[in-house]
Amino acid sequence: MHAIVLAGGTKDDEWARRHGVNNKAFLPINDLPMITYVVAALRECPRIDQIIVVGPVDALTDLLPSDGIRVLPEQGDIVDNVLTAVQELPQDRKVLVCTSDIPMLTPEALSALFEAVSEREADLYYPIISRVDCEKRYPGVKRTYLKLKNGSFTGGNIIIVNPKQAIPLAQVFRRLVMERKNPVKMLLTFGLPGIIFVIRLALGLLSVQELEQRLSSILRIKGVAIYCSYPEIGTDVDKDSDLELARRVLAAGN
């Protein structure tokens, strides 16, 4: 499997600037930029072959090892960044896409995720982590949870995709990004079935299996949720409490 790490910056990331960097990927955690932890976990996972990092080329090239890693320049938005990287990879193997702000990621977590992926055939895989597992691993951590019939879950900052479906999926996600500030228009993107789906989702009336089925129907691909017991896959760093947790956990060598 190949991997893509998204390390592009945004001009309005005030939180990153408060910590002395313009791009969150370079946020220092115990004297190392955050992205180096993510790349190290990918490099140590035996099932990862080539790694592509998308972001500021000069800074990343100076920072990251050259062996097995390619750096591509940002293309404008997250959808373009993913598409550009996917098109540089073979189309016959699944591709992992992750953000650069999950520094507690481990090779063990990745291997467990890949094992679960190998048990099902799909075009899009999305890991979900239960609230119980999150709070057990990181007591007091603040995450956003979605209530389903099966329990409360948070999503991972990783997806695994069939590269042949990248362009159709990109078209859907681009429409969502364009309408992200207008919830009504975002719902209308999916038509009436999408509106009904979102209402039922908000009311906690869907199971994980129903969520898979409805999203697959809306996106016109086969998408599956992957149960994951490793909260580090979904524990991103985007506020001070997250940063304190990451520094503490990584300093302890966990």
CA nearest 232: which of 117, 99, 75? 99
Instruction: Return the CATH number at 141.
Output: 3.90.550.10
Distance CA 8, CA 148 (A): 32
- Is 0.85 surpassed by the pTM of this model? yes
Cα–Cα distance measured from residue 71 to residue 5, given in angstroms and rounded to the nearest whole number: 9
Q: How far apart are the first and last CA of the chain?
A: 25
Residue 72 β-bridge partners: 54
pLDDT, one tens digit per residue, over 150-194 is 899 998 999 999 999 888 888 777 766 665 445 555 555 566 566
* Host domain of residue 172: 2-251
How many domains does the chain divide into? 1
- pLDDT tens digits along 15-58: 989 998 989 999 999 999 999 999 999 999 999 999 999 999 99
Rounded to 10 degrees, the C-alpha dihedral 34/36/39/40 comes to: -120
